[in-house]
Amino acid sequence: MHARVFVTLAAVLMGAPALAASAAPSLSQTFKRVGGAVVVVRTTERVLAGQRSNTHEVRARGLGSGVLISTDGKVLTAAHVVQTADAVAVEFPGDTLIKASIVASDPAADVALLQLERVPAGVQPATLGDSDKAEVGDEIFIVGAPLGISHTLTVGHVSARRRPNATFGSMETTELFQTDAAINEGNSGGPMFNLAGEVIGVVSRIVSRSGGSEGLGFVVTSNMARRSLFAEPTVWSGLEGYLLTDEMARVFNVPVAHAGLLVQRVAHGSPAERLGLRGGDLPAVIAGEEMIVGGDIVLAVDGVALGEQDAYESIRKRMIEIRDHNGPLHLTLLRSGVIVELSGSVEP
């Protein structure tokens, strides 16, 4: 009798660690572990206001989300949240506000990297996971600041994987997850987590008729972010533009042999401002497209015409070379109907 009790007790004790190890943490436990790395991204920038006959610049505050991914203060967010920001700060739980600078931004992939002045004591960065391991149907959760309500968690699934050249608009070269998790204004730049608490994506945009979440959210994959910002580093230009091609290029009288980048906004203190580029001063709707007109139209960068094949990649590489060696950058642009040449350094 005692032998049987001993054997049974031993089996229970030996099996207990295996049972404990196999129990996955709950969603609430995972959120508590990673939630401290999620931040609210607050920006200030100049925007146009007023009517067409009386347009003027005003300072506006922007809002997005982001996630701390390194102990030295690197924060991952969406490029469209910070691309033309004059100033950036991030807010950690507990209302701790810390200034940040933009160190890299890839508008084509809609990802950007911030550098914090410091990291609050006790905050642990989130782990950047391998998005290739995620499958359609996997449960995920998103943490961000929808409508400014910070540290809101929403749950959903990976609804689809959209490979490069299979998406839409200016992000045709970007790998995206589609998700049914609720995403609203303010979520942009926030992390998508798998159930292990790894960041597998960065919230980019939604498709919505109402303006709110309708279950069609798009998230840049973590591996796309890794390639854009680390494996093949880029720089922040501080410029928001609209690529004019074909019919739109003819509307703006861009030379027929070129495409052109219409400069819409330029961030204060950015490389684009130091080069002397000018943004637009008049909101307009042309062929159903909202844009800001009246600014410079960039035709070529260091001799690379905007209409050339792989122009974006060639210009990106040239910008990195200039950043690393502090050389001059040469621009050819159309300004008020006249071809103008600009040259200068992009470094402060």
Residue 265: its H or E element: strand 260-266
Please say whether the beta carbons of 218 and 242 come within 8 A: no
**Tokens coding 211:** 């303006």
Distance (Å) of CA 128 to CA 31, 165, 201: 15, 24, 9
Rg of the chain taking only CA atoms, in angstroms:
24
What's the CA gap between 108 and 115, in Å, rounded?
20
Contact 206, 197 (CB under 8 A): no
Q: How far is CA 212 from the centre of its chain?
A: 20
Does 2 qualify as catalytic in the annotation? Answer: no
DSSP string, 153-177: EEEEEEEEEE-TTSS-GGGTT--EE
Question: Residue 172: phi, psi to the nearest 5?
Answer: -70, -15
Helix segments in the chain, DSSP class H: 2-22, 27-34, 79-82, 222-226, 246-251, 271-274, 311-325
Is 110 a known active-site residue?
A: yes
Amino acid sitting at position 35: G
278-288 burial code (b ≥16 CB/10 A, e <16): ebbeebeeeee
Q: Identify the active-site residue in 105, 106, 110, 228.
A: 110
Q: Is 150 a catalytic residue?
A: no
Catalytic option among 105, 188, 204, 228: 188
The catalytic position among 80, 159, 213, 228 is 80
Q: Where do we find the tokens 């049974």?
A: 8
Strand 289-293 to 282-286 pairing: antiparallel
Residues involved in catalysis: 80, 110, 188
